[in-house]
Structure 1
Amino acid sequence: MIQDNPALIAAIRDRFAHVDSCPFQGERIFFENAGGALTLKKVVETSGFYAAIPDNPGRINPAGQGTQDVINRAKTDLALFMNAPSGQFFAGESGTELLFRLIRTACVNAPEGGKVIGSSIEHPATRSAARRWAGISRLDYVNVPHCDATGLVTAEDYAALMTPHVAVATILHASPVTGMGMDVAAISKAIRAVAPDCMIIVDGIQHAAHGQMDLDAYDVDGYVISPYKVFSRHGYGIAWISDRLSSAPHDMLIDAPATGWEFGTRDTGSFATVSDVVAYFDWLGGEVSSETEPRKRIEAAGRAIHVYEAHLTNAMINGTGNLPGLRDMDHVKILAGEDNPAREGLVSIVVDGMDSPDVVETLNRQGIRTHTRKADHYSGNVLTPLGLPDCIRISLCHYNTEGEVAKLLVAVKELAAQG
């Protein structure tokens, strides 16, 4: 496992840019991964290479054909990475833009008298799109309340409000506020047990960096990620859609292929960097297992990442060495409970007597990068029911270390004197 192999941790960290220092700040610990993970050095190199190529993919010349091959290969790599034996992948402006597009298409094609179901834990990327297009399409919107104490919504919660008229459903795979992962396969199964033809669309943006994805097991129609949150770069999102959603009437150019969803010229570099990410998971899987098949190595990497990040969050909550954990600090409250097996590399806290932005700034001055979540249009659905105006989000990835966690605990412990 990763936590038992210092040489592997060093090798992992060596593959990422700015792992322990910021070009603007200097030395720092990066616990702001939910806002955007670190970028693979190979991604930086690949981006620069393709940014210099003037040719359009697909043109009948060596560069045009070569770049199209790179895009096609990346889509094959995505199918391997996310275990998608059917359907198609395409890129868009961002994960949020793609979720709006998929949800819009599903809603405008829903039958009259249909319903849209989603949960209160969801990021506004899906909640906003579902409510807007349910209204425009004259569909009833059904809200599934999440549990404030655990930060979760379950299959049973969805099942309690399901009817055969539900035509569109949205699911959040992991919350960027509570850090909790939802059981997508179980929720999808509960939805299809009542409404088998429902179009199900998943926001996988927060989950992607923290473990494997298995679209074949989920039985959904859409799944969206933001590559900058899974070790690639900013500027685009990636969507997978089922064959059924692919063929649904959607925005497209006149006389274009009926299942085409892409608009304009593709950015070869964005697709090429996705292949870099998949290659990284393949490499890591080979380091933590003896698997020889690429998909098996990717699955092994996902399991190892999950175990190691659980190790780090447990150290943060319960303490490490002679340092008390966050749960043992009287001035700290942990959102969604201290013992929550659904947690995916994220701990959100509040500090008694201090506004969260002040805590984040205090930590930042000590070279510890965290982030404030406020009860605004992004996080109010989680924080307002808890009576909280804000919280401090501490988010990590598998390139973080227990030593970094220890430095955070020392700094948070010292906040007691300021609160």
Structure 2
Amino acid sequence: MPQINDELLQQIRDRFAQIDHCPQQGPRIFFENAGGALTLNSVVETSQAYAAIPDNQGRDNPGSHELVRVINQAKADMAAFMNAPGGQFFVGESGTELLFRLIMNACLATGPGQVLGTTLEHPATRSACARWAGIAGQSHVLVEHDDATGTVSAEGYAALVTPDTKVATVVHTSPVTGMGVDVEAVAAAIRAVSPDCYIIVDGIQHAAHGRIDLTAYDVDGYVISPYKVFSRHGYGVAWISDRLTALPHNSLIDGPAENWEMGTRDTGSYATMSDVVSYFEWLGSQVTDSTDRRERFLAAGEAIHEQEKALTDAMIHGTGNLPGLAEMEKVTILGGVDNPAREGLVSLVVDGVPSADVVRALNEQGIRTHLRKADHYSGNILTPLGMDSCVRVSMCHYNSVAEVAQFLGAMKTLAA
């Protein structure tokens, strides 16, 4: 019996805003989760409450004291959720901005040597490494990802890492192929050759799927974008290790040496991350009898993984009497049909039908997907495959097999 049954799925869906409708479009199925997940109702309420508060942090008054307490609680909640070993959490402008800042400081502080990344990565890390490696007099080396599987392996990193590798970047999940990377194995391969390398992970696409364990990963930085993990736009979250914290970085003269935040941040952004963590804990409590917080987070991650696999399996192999994408002759699935690295996402092309037309036709039937073009965001994945674009269909655990069936019905006509 699945951990997320129909009854629990309804309880999950009730916790999200605009789960099946758009204020502009009306009824719709949301398969654009990789572009930004749905928002928890609790996050909407918290955001509204904190938008009204005039007080600043760091003052000696009851309002300010409460803001500081909320921020500290959110940092503790995130540390528990991600199993963070020391270090610190802080918020910034966006996930992209934070990746740039972590990579910049790591490159500038480490001197001549190698900066190691991959062709799978989002331009947030690749662009930051290209820029700051150049300024720091370092070489920027890229591990080639596997076109067939849409991911990159620890062996790929091991082949190119040297004792002189000073900084390395890893994408936890590709936003184009939807395939995950074994961060723990990659970090171990890097540290076996260059133990002091600063390893920075782009966890932006992965976070909504749960199962984050910073203790196991043994990395120095991990960045997420909260709007992709049930919170809202307008900020990013980074975790950095104690040794990355200690590197020279932009800060105020005579200010706290370990502070990486730039100016006064929105307390509501921290508070909404507590809402997100609370949601994962609640979900875990529905699928395990354990009262241990870490056990609940792990159980939530497993339930999410199982549900999303059921959704992608139904999409690829069919459900009821509807054929799956794999049975549609004109459809090509990026990363192959049966790929264990897949995380809730199917990217596809329809032979003879421009991807933009597929996205438009689905949208006209109330099914929200996204066009990825071979541009600065996705060209690294699509160009080697000889594709100018693809359709990204991204699901989350609150989606249903009934929604997948509606999508397949539409695709059967489009791909005929």
Give the TM-score normalised by structure 2. 0.99
Counterpart amino acid of 2:272? T
Verify the 8 A CA contact 1:2 1:9 in the aligned structure 2. no
Q: What is aligned with 1:66?
A: 66
Alignment of 1:13-412 (within 5 A): 13-112=13-112, 114-412=113-411
Counterpart amino acid of 2:95? G
Cα distance between partner residues in 2 of 1:256 and 1:376:
42
Task: Check 1:407–1:168 CA distance in 2 against 1; reply closer, same or farther (3 A cut).
Answer: same
Verify the 8 A CA contact 1:230 1:277 in the aligned structure 2. yes
Cα deviation for residue 2 of structure 1 reads: 5.0
Listed one character per residue, the Cα deviations across residues 239-296 of structure 1 (whole Å, up to 9, x for unaligned) are 0000000001111111111111011112011000000000000000000111111111
Listed one character per residue, the Cα deviations across residues 115-161 of structure 1 (whole Å, up to 9, x for unaligned) are 10000000000000001100011101111000000001000000001
Verify the 8 A CA contact 2:116 2:141 in the aligned structure 1. yes
Counterpart amino acid of 1:154? S
Secondary structure at 1:130's aligned position in 2?
helix
- Structure 2: 5+ residue runs without aligned partners? none
Secondary structure at 1:73's aligned position in 2?
helix
Counterpart amino acid of 2:369? T
Cα distance between partner residues in 2 of 1:344 and 1:12:
19
Verify the 8 A CA contact 1:39 1:232 in the aligned structure 2. yes
Counterpart amino acid of 1:403? A
Secondary structure at 1:373's aligned position in 2?
strand
Verify the 8 A CA contact 2:111 2:137 in the aligned structure 1. no
Counterpart amino acid of 2:395? L
Task: Check 1:398–1:2 CA distance in 2 against 1; reply closer, same or farther (3 A cut).
Answer: farther
Cα distance between partner residues in 2 of 1:168 and 1:357:
38
Figure out how many residues of one structure are paired with residues of the other and give that number: 416
Counterpart amino acid of 2:240? I
Counterpart amino acid of 2:292? E
Cα deviation for residue 10 of structure 1 reads: 0.2
When structure 1 is superposed on structure 2, of 262-271 and 218-227 the one drifting more is 262-271
Listed one character per residue, the Cα deviations across residues 343-380 of structure 1 (whole Å, up to 9, x for unaligned) are 00000000111111111000000000000000000000
Listed one character per residue, the Cα deviations across residues 46-103 of structure 1 (whole Å, up to 9, x for unaligned) are 0000000000022111101101110110000000010003000000000000000000
Verify the 8 A CA contact 1:163 1:195 in the aligned structure 2. yes
Secondary structure at 1:233's aligned position in 2?
coil
Counterpart amino acid of 2:392? R
Cα distance between partner residues in 1 of 2:151 and 2:86:
30
Cα distance between partner residues in 1 of 2:58 and 2:407:
50
Sequence identity (%): 68
Cα deviation for residue 416 of structure 1 reads: 2.7
Give the TM-score normalised by structure 1. 0.98
Deviation above 6 Å: which 4+ runs of structure 1? none
Cα deviation for residue 212 of structure 1 reads: 1.4
- Structure 1: 5+ residue runs without aligned partners? none
Counterpart amino acid of 2:329? D
Cα distance between partner residues in 1 of 2:4 and 2:107:
49
Secondary structure at 1:274's aligned position in 2?
helix
Cα distance between partner residues in 1 of 2:200 and 2:98:
11
Cα deviation for residue 325 of structure 1 reads: 0.4
Verify the 8 A CA contact 1:252 1:261 in the aligned structure 2. yes
Cα deviation for residue 3 of structure 1 reads: 5.8
Verify the 8 A CA contact 2:4 2:307 in the aligned structure 1. no
Secondary structure at 1:254's aligned position in 2?
coil
Cα deviation for residue 4 of structure 1 reads: 5.5
RMSD between aligned residues: 0.8
Verify the 8 A CA contact 2:34 2:394 in the aligned structure 1. yes
Cα distance between partner residues in 1 of 2:338 and 2:167:
33
Verify the 8 A CA contact 1:2 1:288 in the aligned structure 2. no
Verify the 8 A CA contact 2:168 2:197 in the aligned structure 1. yes
